[in-house]
Amino acid sequence: MGETVARLTAAVDAGLAGSVRLVVDVVWLAWRALGAALTLRFDRTRFVAELDRSVVGALPLVLAAGLATGAVMVWQTVEGLARFGASVYAAKLVALSLVRELAPVLTGLLLAGRAGSAIAAELGSMTITEQLDAMRALALDPIRYLVAPRVLALAMGLPCLVLAFDFAGFAGGLLVGVLDKGIPLGAYLEATRSALLASDLEGGALKGAAFGLLIALIGCVNGLRTDPKRGASDVGRSTTGAVVAASVAILVADAALTRLLLGWVV
C-alpha cells in the first residue's frame, strides 16, 4: 500500500514537473518566435507554405466537421424544443453554440491532431537526423526558419478555419432544419441573424487565434525536445505529447477565454 502511494506521488510529481517545464518552454519559445515575427525576421516563403499545408490543407476536413456538427445539433435541439413548440429557437441555439464554442474548440482539436502532430513529427525527425544541428552549424536560426513561420501561420490561419466551420455548421443546421424538420427558411435565417452579434464572431476568431498559437508552440516545443539518443521512438513520444498537451491546453484556454469574453460581450 505504502509503496503504491509512493509510486503514485512520484508519478504526480513527475507529471507536475513535466507540465511546468512544458509551460516554461512554451513561454520561452513564444517570446522568441513572436520577437522574430514582430521584427519581420522570419522566413516568408515558409510562412506561405505552412499556411497552404496546415490551413488550406485542413479546409475540407473542417468544412465536413462543421457541416456534420451543425446538422447533428439541429437534430438534437429540435427534438427537445419541439416538446415546447419552440423548434425555431433551434436555429438561435445552434448559431450561438457554434460561433461561441463548438467552432473554435472543435477546429482547434482537429488542428491539434492534424497540424500539431505534423509539426512535432517534422521537427522531431529533423532533430534526430541532426538537421537542426546542421542549421545551427550554418548559422541559420531554427526559430526564424522553422518555428516563427509555423506559429504565425497557425495563429493567423486558425481564425479563418473557425469562420469556415461556422458557415459550414450554419449550412448543415439549415439543411436539416428546413428540409428535415420543416422549419420555414425565412424563420430559420431570421432566428440565426437575430441571435448573433458581430462580437460573437470576433470572439470565436479570437479563440481560434489563441488556439492556433498554442497548437504551433506546443508542437514546436515537443519536436525540439526530441532526444536524438532515443531515435525514432522519441519522435513518436513527441508527436503524441504534442497532440495531448495541445488538446488539454485548448480546453483550459477555452474556459479562461470564455470567462473573459462573456464579461466583455454579455
Query: Which residue from 5, 139, 255, 266 is in contact with another protein, where contact means CB under 8 A?
Result: 139
Is 77 or 226 the residue whose CB approaches another protein more closely? 226
What is the smallest separation between the CB atom of 236 and another protein, expressed in angstroms? 19
**How many Cα atoms are found within 13 Å in the side-chain-facing hemisphere of 148?**
20
The residue from 141, 190, 202, 227 that contacts another protein (CB under 8 A) is 141
Judged by CB under 8 A, the residue of 16, 56, 82, 140 near another protein is 140
Q: Which window, 126-134, 151-159, 193-201, 248-256, contacts another protein (CB under 8 A)? A: 126-134
* 40 touches another protein by CB under 8 A: no
Q: How far is the CB of 44 from another protein (least distance, A)?
A: 13
- Residue the block writes with cell 456534420: 68
Can you tell me which of 13, 52, 79, 133 binds another protein, judged by CB under 8 A?
133
Nearer to another protein, 74 or 120 (CB): 120
Backbone angles phi, psi at 184, to 5 degrees: -60, 140
Retrieve residue 163's grid coordinates. 469562420
Cell of 227: 532526444
Residues 197 and 185: their CA atoms lie apart, in Å, by 20
Nearer to another protein, 141 or 190 (CB): 141
| Chosen residue from 131, 199, 240, 258 binding another protein by CB under 8 A | 131
For residues 168 and 70, is the Cβ–Cβ distance under 8 A? Answer: yes
Give DSSP secondary structure letters for 149-194. HHHHHHHHHHHHHHHHHHHHHHHHHHIIIIIIS---HHHHHHHHHH
Give the interface with another protein as residue ranges (CB under 8 A): 129-131, 133-141
